[in-house]
C-alpha cells in the first residue's frame, strides 16, 4: 500500500548517508514549517558514538535500540499533536520500518547525492564523530527508499533553501 497521502504528517524523517546534510536540512525544514527539530544522533548511546569515533561501523545490534528510541520519541510527539522533523540516517528499509512502524502520518525524505559530492563535504567537516572513512560502508548499507514507503527523494546538489523548497513542494506542506 502506498503511503503517498496528502494529509500533513506529524513527522518527517530526513534520511541519508553521513555528510548528506541531514541535520542542516532538517533544521531549515523545521524552521520553515514551524515544527520541532530532533537530531537522531542525540539518541545514540555513548557506546555507539565511541564505536563510530573509532572508525568502526555499527552493527544492527547496535542500531536497534537507537532506532527504537527515535521511534518512541516520534510516537510521543505525535501523541501530543506536535509535529517534528527528525534527522536520522535510516539507511536500510528495515531501519525505516522500525521508525515508521506502519504509521501513515510519518514520511521519509531521502537526501540523495553522489559519493564524490558527499566525500568532499565530509573532508571539510570538523568536530563530528563520524569519520570520513566510514562513508564507503554507509553507501554499501544504503537501501534507497521506495514510493511504497511514502518516501520522497531530493537532490542535495543545491542550496539548503532550494532543497527545503523541493521537500515542501513534493509533500505539499504549509507552515504551521
Residue 76: Cβ-neighbour burial (10 angstroms; 0-12, 13-18, 19+): exposed
State pLDDT tens for residues 28-63.
999 999 999 999 989 999 999 898 888 787 889 999
- Residue-level pLDDT at 133: 60
Cell of 38: 530532533
Find out whether 23 and 39 touch, Cβ atoms under 8 Å.
Answer: yes
pLDDT greater at residue 2 or residue 126: 126
pTM of the model: 0.88
- Mean pLDDT value of segment 164-168: 97
Query: Per residue, what are the HEC states of 21-62?
Result: CHHHHHHHHHHHHCCEEEEHHHHCCHHHHHHHHCCCCCCHHH
Superfamily of domain 11-171: P-loop containing nucleotide triphosphate hydrolases (3.40.50.300)
Rounded-to-integer distance, Cα 99 and Cα 137, Å:
21
Residue 67 scores a pLDDT above 90 = yes
- Residue-level pLDDT at 2: 40
State pLDDT tens for residues 106-124.
999 999 999 889 988 877 6
Which residue carries 546534510 as its cell?
A: 21
Residue 82 scores a pLDDT above 90 = yes
Residue 129 scores a pLDDT above 50 = no
- Residue-level pLDDT at 136: 83
Residue 4 scores a pLDDT above 50 = no
Residue 128 scores a pLDDT above 60 = no
Amino acid at each position: 500500500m502506498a503511503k503517498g497521502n496528502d494529509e500533513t504528517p506529524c513527522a518527517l524523517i530526513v534520511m541519508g548517508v553521513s555528510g548528506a546534510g541531514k541535520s542542516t536540512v532538517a533544521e531549515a525544514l523545521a524552521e520553515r514549517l514551524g515544527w520541532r527539530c530532533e537530531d537522531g544522533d542525540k539518541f545514540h548511546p555513548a557506546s555507539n558514538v565511541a564505536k563510530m569515533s573509532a572508525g568502526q561501523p555499527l552493527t544492527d545490534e547496535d542500531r536497534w535500540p537507537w532506532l527504537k528510541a527515535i521511534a518512541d520519541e516520534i510516537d510521543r510527539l505525535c501523541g501530543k499533536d506536535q509535529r517534528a522533523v527528525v534527522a536520522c540516517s535510516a539507511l536500510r528499509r528495515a531501519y525505516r520500518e522500525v521508525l515508521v512502524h506502519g504509521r501513515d502520518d510519518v514520511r521519509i525524505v531521502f537526501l540523495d547525492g553522489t559519493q564524490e559530492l558527499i566525500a568532499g563535504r565530509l573532508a571539510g567537516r570538523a568536530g563530528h564523530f563520524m569519520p570520513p572513512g566510514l562513508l564507503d560502508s554507509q553507501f554499501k548499507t544504503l537501501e534507497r527508499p521506495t514510493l511504497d514507503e511514502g518516501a520522497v527523494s531530493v537532490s542535495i546538489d543545491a542550496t539548503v533553501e532550494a532543497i527545503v523548497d523541493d521537500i515542501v513542494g513534493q509533500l505539499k506542506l504549509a507552515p504551521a
